[in-house]
Amino acid sequence: MKKIAVCGASGLVGSRLVRQLHQRSFPLVLVGRKAQPLQEKFPFAIAHYSWSEFAATPADDLGTIINLAGAGVTDKAWSEAYKQIMIDSRLNATQTCVELCQKNPSIRLINASAISAYGFYDDDHEVFAEADTERRTGTCFLQELIDRWEQATVPAVKAGSSVALLRIGTVFDRQGGALSTIEIPFRYFLGGRFGTGKQIMSWVSLEDLVAAIEFIFDRPDLNGPINLVSPGACSNRMVARSLGKAMGRPSLIPIPAFLIRAMMGQMGQELVLWGQRASPSKLLAAGFVFQDQDIDAYFQKTFRR
């Protein structure tokens, strides 16, 4: 059996995915900035590599590379230096994966991306399916970053490798991702919409996201851009109302847009005050079933645990 490489294995999504694949007895190669932390966290993997070590691994041993690597977009304030780190971490990791594909075009590359590919909007709009990228308007940092990230996989396609691009939405999970931050003001009875609340949040639960990546892994016919979002995209106002209800808290105190911009700068504008409505058209057509499609039901389930 060919080895499965998971890059960015120590992150929120990667950690859950690694454990799922391990339960299915796949031979796993894990890749990160340093090998030692991966060995300590996932002793069951057959190999743990730094990026330089992974670049030198025999390409013929690999069957699939799942690349989730990249500096977190909310880990630090968006200084010019950190924006460059976000760019370089994604492009350099993807380049290493692509070079292995060029050595062995039978490798399938499943590469992370984001629905930022469709641009950002402050109100509702016509839904974006995977084929609608050219319909987007405007431009911003994250859209440009995603464009460069996806373009970096083109040499692998030209070499003959199969490439799937995971356009991931806002990930909800209480242990990390957006929800662990959004819920904080609600705990103190200070929750409410962000700005006008009209911006759309195309969200996905961590459970559905990991299941969808597994589904794509099992379906070699699923390639190109694939939207990994719940069919239940909704406004920020609805998210706030549903979250408050599930937590037994009011959602009456809006956080003004000017305050979000003052506190978070460009990050706040692009990630909090803007959004996009995307549809998981390819996954639904392929028969994938989302367990979490309704925001009310998801929050009620999550905060009942």
Indicate the residue type of 93.
A
Half-sphere exposure (CA, 13 Å, Cβ side) for 71?
Answer: 17
Indicate the residue type of 30.
L
Q: What string of DSSP letters covers 61-94?
A: GEEEEEE-----TTSS---HHHHHHHHHHHHHHH
Q: What string of DSSP letters covers 171-195?
A: EEETTEHHHHHHHHHHHTT----BT
What CATH number has the domain bearing residue 102?
A: 3.40.50.720
For residue 45, give the nearest of 64, 61, 60, 23 by alpha carbon. Answer: 23
Domain span at 284: 3-237+264-302
Indicate the residue type of 29.
V
pTM of the predicted structure, to 2 decimals: 0.96
Question: CB of 181 within 8 A of CB of 148?
Answer: no
What is the arithmetic mean of pLDDT over 7-11? 95
Q: Give me the pLDDT at residue 177, please.
A: 83
Does residue 197 lie within any of the structural domains? yes
Does residue 186 lie within any of the structural domains? yes
Q: What angle do CA 51, 146, 86 make, to 5 degrees?
A: 50
Instruction: Return d(Cα 165, Cα 174) in angstroms, integer.
Output: 26
Q: Give me the pLDDT at residue 137, please.
A: 78
Counting the structural domains of the chain, the total is 1
Indicate the residue type of 63.
G
Report the share of the chain in percent with pLDDT over 70: 100
Question: CB of 237 within 8 A of CB of 197?
Answer: yes
Does residue 252 lie within any of the structural domains? no
What is the arithmetic mean of pLDDT over 168-193? 93
First to last CA, the chain: 38
Does residue 76 lie within any of the structural domains? yes
Task: Give tens-digit pLDDT for 136-179.
Answer: 877 899 999 999 999 999 999 999 999 999 999 999 999 888 99
For residue 94, give the nearest of 168, 167, 148 by alpha carbon. Answer: 148
Instruction: Return d(Cα 47, Cα 100) in angstroms, integer.
Output: 17
**Helix 295-302 and helix 236-247, axial crossing angle in degrees, nearest 10:** 30
Q: What angle do CA 204, 149, 195 make, to 5 degrees?
A: 45
Does residue 258 lie within any of the structural domains? no
Q: Give me the pLDDT at residue 82, please.
A: 97
Q: Output the average pLDDT for the chain.
A: 96
Does residue 124 lie within any of the structural domains? yes
Question: Residue 256 pLDDT > 90, yes or no?
Answer: yes
What is the arithmetic mean of pLDDT over 72-89? 96
Q: Give me the pLDDT at residue 230, please.
A: 98
SS3 165: strand
Stretch (H or E) spanning 47: strand 47-50
Does residue 285 lie within any of the structural domains? yes
Question: Residue 305 pLDDT > 80, yes or no?
Answer: no
Q: Give me the pLDDT at residue 288, please.
A: 98
Does residue 204 lie within any of the structural domains? yes
Indicate the residue type of 160.
G
